[in-house]
């Protein structure tokens, strides 16, 4: 911990945090589901007991709305309890047994084999800038790491340090009161201390949600250690949307409004914001152009973020054949965080020529609308899209032919994304057993893992098989006679 | 394919192989379990129908024994059928569903979510040199890749090209006869064409079994692609063995003989060969020194491999405090593949000082015996060992105190290895549901995956969740009402 101040963590402080995490690791790895629930519940209660204070702090630091932030705190508390449910169920351990066998059909006699997932040890969690709670100090990776049996050290995000460190204080109070070692949840402030922690042999796994550049640099640090460790980064996602001709014709207004809400919500600063939208040329682009003009400016997390966004957007606008489809109401000149909503557009032919540049994430309230004349363009464009967290298809469910078309588009999207959304918008990530919040690079560094959902605990676990082990040497989940 | 010759694959040939694999991918991904079994069975039958011919070829190329090679062919056929059983069971798809819910306890309404693992597409499999069949052209990765729904292209190992290409011919015959597209199983010859294949966007996942240096270089190629792909390498493993004082005292001869068999079997060229053995000072090292002197020379796969082995061994022998504990019968001077069995030894103190050098894999019939005076040395040494595929504890099961000691050693080993073996020897890898044949680096590039066992199909799969999808757009495993 860092005593609630946002001063950069010193080398001595970091050493103490990591030593405490390492010391707490064996006992926590051996803890039972009821103990883990007790810890996670205590953290959820601590969060809920300070909603107003935390939301006020986060608003000062991030310019996100009260509704968004208080909803986020609720979700974060839910995530902590959800992780406890996953542990209680036990299926997350993926325990499998083979009984010994001398069967003549086997290539060799089979010993008693029992496999289970074991906790890796101390985890380093890099907070996200755009979710001070849900992907913050007590966010989804922290919940999953603790639930999986790993102490967690959180690298505080510079975009909302006070919000994070107040959560750290509340967490420390809750741990103390419930008799848990403080080493179960530590924090570190500062970029350089964060990298030092990532290099430390006591850290056994790391997770990150943030920019492509930052994430790839940290991944390299994790790989260049004497013993590389898993680094799970969620880095950038253009989240393609495909609108079929039938949907554009019969659900025009619904699709247009849904898209604009999804592009501009939370200032477009969501990892699942649609960035590239393939729509039939015609009435839908025209309606989008009209509707976007009514949109109020969005507030971005920080002035720096707004400047980066504008630079990236200017690059897209300078590409040949790319035009402004429409812009929202202009922002006040004296507000350094405000940003008007923007839609760019180009043709399918132009998009095919410069897809690499057009299909990079732009983090803010903007999207590129690609107008196609013929559905055949989808067969060319979709397979060439970069990996994304989500891909969406908007179709007409009442039209059997269009359902078949949507199924084909979904098949193409499924090869490029982690979640295929039908007639919904991807800016909702359910905390649920089947959720997968990951995708091919650049969306994730490892597309088999997820930061949200029932499988999120697996990031912090590793399979080990015990061969011919005496009962005493087996982890609890493997003891006893086979089921 | 390469027409059964071991000439390096040309650029045109490679393009044809990859184009055929890519063309076969969608249909194969959609194939049902019965179809996959039909393919895998056809390959198993083709192998079994040519055992004598294949064993003779492999003997010419590798100097492995008839018994070892014919056993390996049996195991390879078993692996193909085992993979079909895993597919038939269906659990490997890890299908999970959440029903839609408006429950007030949720942070937001939950849509219909259905997650499943989908095939990645064409897989590139780098054959191992030391297993011309079990990790060869029709080996475990090929079986798992095909079973998982991916076409497979095999990079032939230069140590046994004719054995591999004959298997490719047999496989092609079997595919043709059963009416499967040839693109389901291709081959490529040559280092440079292998790297070119790894860079090709049509290849979606790669697996490798071989040297640390070669594997890391290929991993980098996979990561530097425009879209990085998973590269699953099994690279090197020192496979520590810990012998308790009670086992050394009461099971002296059994342990000594078992160890020597394990160190020298297959010329010590197995990825699970014990390379570092922690034994109590006293009668066991003395017995090992006597028994090793009776061992006949082993034949190594190739003269080059023997030379590399001798160089690596010479480095270890030159370390301060490292001595020869004993040597097997000397090899004939005119046999460039023969190698006497060797045991080196040093003290626990010396080992602690230079563990990094001593605990690197030496691929051949040798091991380093570390003599400890006090079991406390294990607490220092074991946690510092490099990641390994296996860790073994030899103990006395009749002695309750020793069982507790073994449990503690196993706990330390479990943090460093993928498989903990009790009173067995690690040179047997069962093809079984619970098997895990992976471990922390350098043993594996990704310690969550396995090249052998029920979970081996996962290397070739990726989770995708379908949100609110119409029935028609769902993969078969996700259709219908929730169970």
* B175, B165 contact by CB (below 8 A): no
> Angle at CA B360, nearest 5°, toward B358 and B365?
90
Q: B454 contacts in A (CB within 8 Å)?
A: 96
State residue A2's pLDDT score: 44
Dihedral sign, CA of B435, B441, B447, B453?
negative
Q: What does DSSP assign to residue A476?
A: G
Kindly list the distances between the CA atom of residue B314 and the CA atoms of B265, B319, B357, in Å, as whole numbers in the listed order: 21, 9, 12
> Angle at CA B246, nearest 5°, toward B240 and B251?
80
B113 has a pLDDT exceeding 70: yes
State residue B4's pLDDT score: 53
* A269, A420 contact by CB (below 8 A): no
What is A286-321 written as a DSSP string? HHHHHHHTTPPPEEPS-HHHHHHHHHHHHHHHTSTT
Q: What does DSSP assign to residue A101?
A: B
Residue B410 CA to residue A478 CA, distance in Å, equals: 14
Who contacts B304 (Cβ-Cβ below 8 Å, separation ≥6)?
none
- Give first-to-last CA distance, chain B, whole Å: 44
Which amino acids of A are annotated catalytic?
Answer: 234, 271
Helix spans in A49-130 (H): 51-62, 66-89
Q: What is the dihedral of CA A127, A133, A138, A142, to 10 degrees?
A: -50
Q: A396 contacts in B (CB within 8 Å)?
A: none
User: What are the phi and psi torsion angles at B419 (to 5°)?
Assistant: -140, 125
Average pLDDT value for chain B = 96
Question: B208 is written with which tokens?
Answer: 């490798």
Q: Within a 10 A sphere around the Cβ of A113, how many other Cβ atoms?
A: 23
Q: A420 contacts in B (CB within 8 Å)?
A: 464-467, 469, 473
Dihedral sign, CA of B353, B357, B360, B364?
negative
From A281's Cα to the closest Cα of chain B, the distance in A is 25
Residue A245 CA to residue B462 CA, distance in Å, equals: 30
- A464 and B419 in contact by Cβ < 8 A? yes
DSSP H/E element including B58:
helix B51-62
- B473 and A406 in contact by Cβ < 8 A? yes
What is B413-435 written as a DSSP string? HHTTEEEEEESS-TT----STT-
Unique residue bearing structure tokens 């308790």: B244
From B151's Cα to the closest Cα of chain A, the distance in A is 15
Residue B450 CA to residue B441 CA, distance in Å, equals: 13
The percentage of residues in chain B with a pLDDT greater than 90, rounded to a whole number, is 96
Q: What does DSSP assign to residue B202?
A: T
From B44's Cα to the closest Cα of chain A, the distance in A is 13
- B430 and A113 in contact by Cβ < 8 A? yes
User: What are the phi and psi torsion angles at B56 (to 5°)?
Assistant: -65, -45
Q: What b/e string do you get for A122-149 counting C-beta neighbours within 10 Å, with b at 16 or more?
A: bbbbbbbbbbbbbbbbbbbbbbbbbbbb
What structural domains does chain A harbor?
11-235+444-478 (3.40.605.10), 241-422 (3.40.309.10)
B482 has a pLDDT exceeding 80: no
3-state secondary structure of A138: coil
- A428 and B108 in contact by Cβ < 8 A? yes
Kindly list the distances between the CA atom of residue B10 and the CA atoms of A245, B14, B190, in Å, as whole numbers in the listed order: 45, 6, 9
Q: B75 contacts in A (CB within 8 Å)?
A: 107-108
Closest CA to B254 of B288, B297, B277, B294: B288
* B321, B350 contact by CB (below 8 A): yes
What is B277-306 written as a DSSP string? EEEESSHHHHHHHHHHTTPPPEEPS-HHHH
From A222's Cα to the closest Cα of chain B, the distance in A is 12
State residue A300's pLDDT score: 93
Q: What does DSSP assign to residue B458?
A: G
Q: Name the residue facing B74 among A107, A418, A448 (closest C-beta).
A: A107
3-state secondary structure of A183: helix
Residue B173 CA to residue B179 CA, distance in Å, equals: 10
Residue A19 CA to residue A183 CA, distance in Å, equals: 8
Q: Within a 10 A sphere around the Cβ of B145, how many other Cβ atoms?
A: 30
Question: B116 is written with which tokens?
Answer: 């499943």
Q: What does DSSP assign to residue A190?
A: S
Q: Closest chain B residue to A201 measured between Cα atoms?
A: B384
What is A234-272 written as a DSSP string? E------EEE-HHHHHHSHHHHHHHHHHHHHGGGG-STT
Q: What does DSSP assign to residue A37?
A: H
Among A83, A386, A428, A473, most B C-beta atoms within 10 A, so best to mutate, is A473
Question: A29 is written with which tokens?
Answer: 């790895």
- B450 and A428 in contact by Cβ < 8 A? no
State residue A5's pLDDT score: 63
Closest CA to B132 of B69, B47, B66, B220: B69
Q: Judging by DSSP bridges, how do beta strands B342-347 and B366-372 pair with one another? A: parallel
* A358, A322 contact by CB (below 8 A): yes
Helix spans in B200-302 (H): 212-223, 245-250, 252-264, 283-292
Q: Name the residue facing A418 among B404, B415, B463 (closest C-beta).
A: B463
User: What are the phi and psi torsion angles at B275 (to 5°)?
Assistant: -110, -20
The predicted-structure confidence for B226-265, as pLDDT tens digits, reads as follows 999 999 999 999 999 999 999 999 999 999 999 999 999 9
Q: B451 contacts in A (CB within 8 Å)?
A: none
3-state secondary structure of B118: strand
- Give first-to-last CA distance, chain A, whole Å: 44
What angle, rounded to 10 degrees, do the helices at B11-29 and B191-199 form?
A: 50
How is chain B split among helix, strand and coil, in percent rounded to 5?
Answer: 45, 15, 35
B480 cis-preceded (ω within 30 degrees of 0): no
What angle, rounded to 10 degrees, do the helices at A252-264 and A283-292 form?
A: 50
Question: A149 is written with which tokens?
Answer: 């049996």
Question: A221 is written with which tokens?
Answer: 């640090």
State residue A98's pLDDT score: 97
The predicted-structure confidence for B58-100, as pLDDT tens digits, reads as follows 999 998 999 999 999 999 999 999 999 999 999 999 999 999 9
State residue B340's pLDDT score: 97
State residue B1's pLDDT score: 43
Number of residues that make up chain A: 483
Average pLDDT, consecutive stretches of 10 residues, N- to C-terminus, chain A (483 residues): 70 98 97 98 98 97 92 97 98 96 94 98 97 97 98 97 98 97 98 98 97 96 97 97 98 98 94 97 97 96 93 96 97 93 98 95 97 96 98 98 98 98 93 98 97 98 98 93 60
Question: A26 is written with which tokens?
Answer: 């064996």
The predicted-structure confidence for B19-59, as pLDDT tens digits, reads as follows 999 999 999 999 999 999 999 999 999 999 999 999 999 99
Closest CA to B461 of B7, B14, B117, B38: B117
State residue B483's pLDDT score: 52
Q: Judging by DSSP bridges, how do beta strands B96-98 and B113-119 pair with one another? A: antiparallel
Who contacts A464 (Cβ-Cβ below 8 Å, separation ≥6)?
A115, A116, A117, A118, B414, B417, B418, B419, B420, B436
* A239, A390 contact by CB (below 8 A): yes
* Span B110-130, average pLDDT: 97
């Amino acid at each position: 911990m860092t005593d609630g101040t946002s001063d950069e963590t010193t080398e001595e402080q970091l050493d103490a945090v990591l030593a405490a995490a390492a010391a707490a690791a064996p006992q926590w790895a051996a803890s039972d589901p009821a103990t883990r629930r007790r810890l996670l519940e205590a953290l959820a209660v601590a969060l809920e007991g300070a909603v107003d204070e935390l939301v006020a702090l986060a608003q000062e630091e991030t310019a996100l709305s009260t509704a968004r932030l208080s909803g986020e705190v609720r979700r974060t508390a839910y995530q902590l309890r959800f992780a406890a449910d996953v542990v209680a169920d036990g299926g997350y351990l993926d325990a499998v047994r083979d009984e010994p066998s001398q069967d003549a059909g086997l290539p060799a006699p089979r010993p008693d084999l029992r496999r289970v997932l074991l906790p890796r040890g101390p985890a380093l969690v890099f907070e996200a800038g755009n979710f001070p709670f849900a992907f913050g100090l007590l966010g989804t990776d922290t919940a999953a790491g603790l639930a999986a049996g790993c102490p967690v050290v959180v690298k505080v995000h510079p975009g909302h340090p006070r919000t994070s460190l107040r959560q750290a204080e509340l967490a420390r109070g809750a741990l103390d009161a419930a008799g848990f070692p403080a080493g179960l949840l530590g924090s570190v402030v500062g970029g350089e201390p964060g990298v030092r922690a990532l290099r430390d042999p006591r850290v056994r796994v790391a997770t990150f949600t943030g920019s492509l550049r930052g994430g790839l640099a940290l991944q390299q640090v994790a790989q260049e250690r004497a013993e590389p460790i898993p680094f799970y980064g969620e880095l950038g996602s253009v989240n393609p949307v495909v609108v079929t001709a039938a949907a554009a014709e019969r659900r025009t207004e619904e699709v247009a409004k849904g898209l604009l809400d999804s592009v501009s919500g939370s200032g477009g600063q969501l990892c699942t914001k649609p960035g590239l939208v393939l729509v039939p040329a015609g009435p839908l682009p025209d309606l989008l152009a009209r509707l976007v003009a009514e949109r109020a400016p969005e507030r971005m997390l920080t002035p720096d973020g707004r400047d980066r966004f504008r630079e990236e957007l200017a690059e897209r606008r300078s590409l040949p054949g790319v035009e402004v489809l429409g812009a929202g109401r202009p922002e006040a000149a004296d507000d350094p965080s405000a940003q008007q909503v923007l839609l760019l557009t180009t043709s399918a032919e132009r998009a095919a020529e410069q897809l690499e540049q057009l299909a990079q994430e732009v983090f803010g309230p903007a999207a590129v609308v690609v107008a196609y004349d013929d559905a055949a363009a989808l067969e060319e464009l979709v397979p060439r899209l970069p990996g994304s967290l989500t891909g969406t298809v908007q179709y007409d469910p009442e039209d059997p032919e269009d359902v078949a078309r949507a199924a084909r588009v979904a098949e193409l999207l499924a090869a490029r994304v982690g979640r295929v959304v039908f007639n919904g918008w991807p800016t909702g990530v359910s905390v649920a057993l089947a959720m997968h919040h990951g995708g091919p690079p650049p969306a994730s560094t490892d597309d088999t893992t997820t930061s949200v959902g029932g499988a999120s605990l697996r990031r912090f676990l590793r399979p080990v098989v015990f061969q011919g082990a005496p009962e005493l040497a087996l982890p609890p989940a493997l003891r006893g006679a086979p089921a």
